Amino acid sequence: MAETPKAPAETIAEKLLPFALPDVGSAEARAMTRSLRSGWLTSGPEVKAFESEFATLTGAREAIAVNSCTAALHLALAAWDIGADDAVLVPDLTFVASAEVITYSGALPIVLDVNRADYLLDGETVERFLKEQCDTSGAHPVHRASKKTVRAIIPVHYGGRPCDLDQLSEIAKRHKLKLLEDAAHAFPTYYAGRILGTHSDATAFSFYATKNLTTGEGGMLTTDDSEFADRVRRMRLHGIRGQTYGRQRWQYDVVDQGFKYNMMDPCAAIGRVQLKRTAETLEKRKLIHAAYDRAFARLQGVRLTPRTPHESAFHLYTIELGPGARLSRDEFVDEMYRRGIAVSLHFIPIHRLTYYRDAYGLSAQQFPNAEEIFQRICSLPIYSALKMRNVRHVIEAVRELLG
């Protein structure tokens, strides 16, 4: 009799402890199968229900499901008509998607350094940029060098730890800028005791395979502005008035510029199960985070994940290897792989990516904080599907190498 093939996850884990694995089980499989058999493969009742449940959980008036966080970010900028005459502020220490979406409509990404202590974009940096490099006498700030109008800020909640939204919101309001949170890592993050999703003009979440809540590929945009949400809904599906689900017969009209960004029903079906498991999966990541914090507290020259005054979603566990550490970051990563443990790096800063460096004239000197963080940082496995015996294995390896 043929051997039962192993699930890909087991096959990988035997060779190398993966850096990340989705935590999907039989409940997600059943929900997806039910959805597949329902006849709705594209956006249908599951998407509608997922949006409604996500809106309820976050308290947002509107939740719009799309096929990635990248799509959610792009749609928000597009629905605000941010285009070729405009500029948008984005931190250097992020995944390329946060900057890339700004370029889709020809707007200028203005990349700012992050705070050395917590790796986040802070209000002082934004304020300094506006004061020193912009003319702020008109309705919106105008970037002197490029003559572009600064229209929005995209703060990134790196690792699930929130930026100072009070400070950024105040600056955004004062300068008539839209605040679009990149919350790809930040579900569920609690800022001032309230879950993210309603703290700014719009919040974009990622449900990519490695994220805290996954639908395989997927994303969600939340907002309290219903008019803006209507436009985002239209634009995610070709600019068509009235969506596939609920459309009458053959009639349709295109009333806006559109994109093809809608979420599939089977993905939403997975997402609905994952949403119910939010507390359980958060608890597990929290447990791993605390175990790492305890185990690594005394390592020489090693800086652990910065603390936040707010409640993190514990998406990443980073360590920085300073000059006093026993190994350099690169030596450490090599040794971890040799011990069968995958380690990752968040992020190669935007200024180091060839396209952005060349197209926008970026260099390391402009971003001393992100550059130094990049030289020293790496991320250890932290995900709800990680077994505690594997957590112990990671701890032993790290202590052996850096203790």
Ligand X SMILES: Cc1ncc(COP(=O)(O)O)c(C=O)c1O
Phi and psi at 124, nearest 5°, equal -60, -40
In 3D space, the residue among 40, 19, 58, 42 whose CA is nearest the CA of residue 275 turns out to be 58
Write down the least CB distance from residue 292 to ligand X, Å.
20
- What is the rounded CA–CA span in Å between residue 120 and residue 133? 21
Q: Which of 35, 43, 94, 243 binds ligand X (CB under 6 A)?
A: 94
Residue tagged 């052996």 (tokens)? 400
Q: What residues are annotated to the active site?
A: 211
CB of 294 to ligand X, least distance (A): 27
Q: Does 206 bind ligand X (CB under 6 A)?
A: yes
Q: How far apart are CA 122 and CA 147, in angstroms?
A: 24
Measured from the CB of residue 7, what is the shortest distance to ligand X in angstroms?
Answer: 23
Q: Which is nearer to ligand X, 44 or 91 (CB)?
A: 91
Q: Rule CB under 6 A: say whether 97 interacts with ligand X.
A: yes
Q: Are residues 140 and 176 in contact, defined by beta-carbon separation less than 8 angstroms? A: yes
Which residues, 6 or more positions from 65, have their beta carbon under 8 angstroms from its beta carbon? Answer: 43, 47, 50, 51, 54, 218, 219, 220, 262, 263, 268, 271
Given 35, 58, 70, 149, the residue binding ligand X (CB under 6 A): 70
DSSP annotation of 222: E
Using the rule CB under 6 A, is 55 a contact of ligand X? no
Compute and round to an integer the Cα radius of gyration of the chain.
22
Q: Which of 13, 55, 107, 156 binds ligand X (CB under 6 A)?
A: 156
Cβ closest to ligand X, residue 175 vs residue 285: 285
Nearer to ligand X, 206 or 379 (CB): 206
Q: CA torsion 101→107→231→153, rounded to 10°? A: 70
313 binding ligand X? (CB under 6 A): no
Binding mask 218-237 for ligand X (x = CB under 6 A): -x------------------
CB nearer to ligand X: give 207 or 296. Answer: 207
Shortest Å distance, C-beta 43 to ligand X: 17
Q: Which of 182, 201, 265, 371 binds ligand X (CB under 6 A)?
A: 182
- Work out how close the CB of 101 gets to ligand X at its nearest, in angstroms, rounded to a whole number: 8
Are 215 and 263 in contact by the 8 Å Cβ rule? The answer is: yes
Of residues 97 and 196, the one with the C-beta less far from ligand X: 97
- Candidate ranges 67-75, 131-139, 250-258, 269-277; the one touching ligand X (CB under 6 A): 67-75
DSSP H/E element including 131 = helix 123-133
- Separation between Cα atoms, residue 392 and residue 226, nearest integer Å: 48
Tell whether residue 99 is a contact of ligand X (CB under 6 A). Answer: no
Q: Which residues bind ligand X (CB under 6 A)?
A: 68-70, 94-95, 97-98, 156, 182, 184-185, 206, 208, 219
